[in-house]
């Protein structure tokens, strides 16, 4: 029996780990050990995802919590080294591009006898001002095996000199979670309590609305940028209501930059708590568009064929633009694009290859051969 440690750290990891845990259940060749680094730790960012996605409680929780990049990475490395010593795994499989991804790969790569595997390898935004791009580059520079979501990722890895036999295009684990949970998501309530107001918004009572997520440091840690964004959200919300489950990083900055009172004054701009997986999927599924700077939402909207406006100069997920319903936009282009969507002329696309709900099965088959 081989042992594989699966690492989950932050919110976008949980929907990628869930299908793998389910596909490995009862496997007689591979025993999974689930390690949660504790990078995300509270109910809204972590606990409710485990519950809704039926992920078993982690075997080990490093409880590292929030800190600066270096301190958080160092804490994860220190804790995970001990895990590798105690557990003696054959494989360590990490997903995505968060600090936990790079930290655990750096630790495992120095143990003789541990093979490291990166799911979502090869994605490149080309933008090293993003902490996630640094994590992708570091992880892929040292990992042994590369599981990819799209052909462009394979090409990036080949260009970087990775031997083709180490690269496996397996498809998209997020879409495994999405297809498995879409029906269940449709039954969740779309009534949300507003943050900082004693009121609710009933999304299904609105004839149309957009869903919004923003949390990239380049957008929300910069006071001028965040102020610009608030102005544009206000303008857009005059045309179509906007529902915004606010990430803790963004919420803190809104408070620190004194923007809450202004936001409260815009009546169609609905700020709500971060949502669990099922409610979020339901909210997106019924939305006219998503306005975002997230990575994962570009993929989920592509699968659901909902126009996605990504407010970033680049994306590590170009297949969502070439094939899917995603567009990259500058702040100054948002309003025009939303006018088009309101007229029914939003971007539509197709679903990329292997985004079919069977990625975890393909990964388990490859692991069994290894």
Instruction: Using CB under 6 A, list all residues that contact ligand UD1.
Output: 10-12, 39-42, 45-46, 66, 97-99, 131-132, 215, 247-249, 252
At its nearest, how many Å lie between ligand UD1 and the CB of residue 308?
A: 15
- Give the SS3 label for residue 95: strand
Identity of the residue, 14 or 147, whose beta carbon is nearer to ligand UD1 in the bound complex: 14
Tokens linked to 107 = 């630790």
At its nearest, how many Å lie between ligand UD1 and the CB of residue 154?
A: 22
Beta bridge partners of 194: 272
At its nearest, how many Å lie between ligand UD1 and the CB of residue 29?
A: 32
At its nearest, how many Å lie between ligand UD1 and the CB of residue 40?
A: 4
Inter-axis angle of helices 173-186 and 359-369, nearest 10: 140
Identity of the residue, 213 or 237, whose beta carbon is nearer to ligand UD1 in the bound complex: 213
At its nearest, how many Å lie between ligand UD1 and the CB of residue 6?
A: 17
Identity of the residue, 46 or 279, whose beta carbon is nearer to ligand UD1 in the bound complex: 46
The answer to whether 322 and 200 are in contact (CB under 8 A) is no
Our CA dihedral for 25, 27, 28, 29, rounded to 10 degrees, sits at: -130
The HSE-up count of residue 225 (CA atoms within 13 Å, CB side) is: 15
Catalytic residues: 215
- Cα gap 114→117, rounded to integer Å: 10
Our CA dihedral for 130, 133, 138, 142, rounded to 10 degrees, sits at: 170
Question: Residues of 349-363 as b/e, b for ≥16 C-beta within 10 angstroms?
Answer: bebbebbebbbbebb
Identity of the residue, 11 or 327, whose beta carbon is nearer to ligand UD1 in the bound complex: 11
- Give the SS3 label for residue 258: coil
Tokens linked to 87 = 């557990």
- Cα gap 194→179, rounded to integer Å: 29
The answer to whether 237 and 338 are in contact (CB under 8 A) is no
Identity of the residue, 17 or 23, whose beta carbon is nearer to ligand UD1 in the bound complex: 17
Identity of the residue, 121 or 240, whose beta carbon is nearer to ligand UD1 in the bound complex: 121
The answer to whether 294 and 274 are in contact (CB under 8 A) is no
At its nearest, how many Å lie between ligand UD1 and the CB of residue 7?
A: 12
Q: Kindly state the DSSP code that residue 193 receives in the 8-state scheme.
A: E
């Amino acid at each position: 029996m081989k042992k594989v440690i699966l690492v989950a750290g932050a919110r976008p990891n949980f929907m990628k780990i869930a299908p793998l845990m389910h596909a490995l259940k009862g496997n007689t060749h591979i025993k999974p050990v689930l390690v949660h680094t504790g990078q995300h730790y509270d109910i809204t960012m972590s606990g409710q995802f485990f519950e809704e996605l039926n992920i078993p409680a982690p075997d080990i929780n490093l409880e590292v919590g929030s800190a600066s990049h270096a301190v958080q990475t160092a804490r994860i490395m220190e804790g995970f080294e001990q895990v590798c010593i105690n557990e003696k795994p054959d494989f360590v499989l990490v997903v995505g591009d968060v600090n936990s991804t790079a930290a655990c790969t750096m630790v495992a790569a120095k143990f003789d006898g541990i093979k490291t595997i990166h799911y979502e390898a090869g994605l490149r935004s080309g933008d090293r001002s993003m902490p996630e791009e640094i994590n992708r580059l570091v992880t892929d520079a040292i990992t042994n095996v590369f599981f990819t979501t799209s052909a462009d990722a394979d090409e990036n890895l080949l260009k970087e000199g990775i031997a083709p036999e180490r690269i496996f295009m397996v498809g998209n684990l997020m879409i495994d979670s999405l297809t498995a949970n879409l029906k269940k998501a449709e039954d969740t309530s779309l009534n949300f309590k507003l943050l900082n107001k004693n009121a609710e918004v009933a999304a299904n009572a609105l004839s149309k609305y957009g869903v919004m997520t923003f949390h990239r440091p380049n957008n929300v840690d910069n006071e001028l940028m965040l102020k610009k964004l608030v102005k544009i959200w206000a303008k857009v919300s005059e045309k179509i209501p906007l529902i915004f489950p606010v990430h803790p990083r963004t919420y803190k900055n809104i408070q620190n930059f004194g923007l809450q009172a202004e936001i409260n004054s815009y009546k169609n701009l609905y700020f709500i708590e971060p949502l669990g997986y099922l409610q979020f999927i339901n909210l997106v599924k019924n939305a006219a568009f998503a306005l975002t700077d997230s990575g994962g939402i570009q993929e989920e909207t592509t699968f659901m064929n909902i126009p996605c406006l990504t407010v970033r100069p680049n994306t590590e997920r170009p297949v969502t633009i070439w094939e899917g319903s995603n567009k990259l936009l500058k702040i100054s282009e948002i309003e025009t694009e939303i006018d088009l969507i309101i007229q029914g002329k939003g971007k539509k696309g197709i679903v990329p290859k292997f985004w079919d709900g069977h990625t975890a099965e393909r990964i388990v088959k490859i692991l069994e051969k290894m």
